[in-house]
Amino acid sequence: MEWERDDGLRLRVLLALAVVALMPVAFVYTLVFLVNTVGLDLLAWATDRPWNGRLVVPLWAVVPVVAGGFVIQYAFGERMALRSVGARRVSADEEPAVHATLSRLAAQVDAPVPSLAVSESSVPNAFTVGRRPSAATVVVTRGLLETLDEREREAVLAHELAHVKNRDVTVMTFAYFLPTLTYTVAIAAFFLLRGVFHALGSFEDVDGDGAKGVVAVVVVLVVSAVLTLAVSALFWAGSFLLFRLLSQYREYAADRGAASITGDPLALASALRTLDESMSALPDADLREQDGGLEALYVAPIDTYQFGGDRELLSSDIFPSTHPSTADRVERLQALAADLETGTQGASDA
């Protein structure tokens, strides 16, 4: 089975990169718009005089700041991801079998050999991070190494290598910037709100004009903080939706890639079933500890196991799952295996 370039994935990656680059700029200018409309009206109401000025933030000032955020994400995103799951890079002497498999599979598709990191978590899973294909790191958990047999482990490593070959790892790393930015702004707005309400207790004895001034200040700060929280939530949801939609397609592409690399689609199907069954038996607390905000990167989904008996509370209509269903992925892999078998028989008959 020959490796085939996935043009659909490449187009989605390019579109995602464009959206990821534009959304932080749009976020900043949305906040500026609110300042120049609601904000100035609030100031006019609070001070009983018109405010005719307006906040102007030139694009040349915004772009370097946003670019700086991406540079920080580029430089430290991989390190933060490894730290969030307690993974460390291991040498070939420590994990010779896994290193040997990775090297052999990479040679088959003429791809750079990724670094290998191991998390001591008992949750069986794997993911890949990296700034570029030549600097990718495949992360496997101890639970995965102990749960899967050799054939299944090879299929999972091929799946992760397919992400490297497809060059979709970088965009997933960058895609975390906007959620991080909006989260930071939202936290700042939350603490502002908390500070305002805490400070209200200090103005019990204020009356007359002073009381009116305090009320005006409180209203301005509260409305500003609430609007900031709302805008942050809106952009966070948009980036989260984009992130998950891209994640689903890239998983299908990596499944096909793994089948191309190993020539054994059923091995990955078996691995996915084993991972799914193993994780369904684990406590939700163990899965939450392994999350670290990286749920969309794993080879097998963990988000569907984090809500106990109330998993229906996670609405797939609002936020699609990070992964296609395991049953659907297995069905597609079985169809690939049938196609391979038919092709092999046809070649033998010829």
| pLDDT tens per residue, range 105-126 | 999 988 889 999 999 998 899 9
211 pLDDT band, cuts 50/70/90, is low
- pLDDT for 7 beyond 50: yes
The two three-digit tokens of residue 75, written as one number = 């430089």
Concatenate the DSSP letters of all residues of 22-83 into one string: HHHHHHHHHHHHHIIIIIHHHHHHHHTS---------HHHHHHHHHHHHHHHHHHHHHHHHH
Contact call for residues 116 and 140 (beta carbons, < 8 A): yes
Q: Is the residue at 283 inside a domain?
A: yes
Q: Is the residue at 132 inside a domain?
A: yes
Buried b (16+ CB within 10 A) or exposed e, 21-56: bebbeebbeebbebbbeebbebbeebeeeeeeeeee
More confident residue, 181 or 311: 181
Q: Is the residue at 191 inside a domain?
A: yes
Residues spanned by the domain of 281 = 7-349
Helix 40-47 vs helix 209-262: crossing angle, to nearest 10: 170
Q: Is the residue at 2 inside a domain?
A: no
pTM: 0.76
C-beta neighbour count of 86 within 10 angstroms: 15
Q: What are phi and psi of 130, to 5 degrees?
A: 160, 150
Q: Is the residue at 23 inside a domain?
A: yes
- pLDDT for 193 beyond 80: no
pLDDT digits (tens, 9 = 90+) for 306-333: 444 444 434 444 556 778 889 999 999 9
Give pLDDT, residue 292: 56
pLDDT digits (tens, 9 = 90+) for 256-302: 999 999 999 999 999 999 999 988 877 666 666 665 567 778 898 87
Q: Is the residue at 293 inside a domain?
A: yes
Q: Is the residue at 1 inside a domain?
A: no
The two three-digit tokens of residue 243, written as one number = 């992130």
% of the chain beyond a pLDDT of 70? 77
Give the chain's domain count.
Answer: 1
pLDDT digits (tens, 9 = 90+) for 61-85: 888 988 887 787 777 778 888 888 8
Q: Is the residue at 331 inside a domain?
A: yes
Give pLDDT, residue 56: 86
Active site residues: 160
Give pLDDT, residue 315: 42
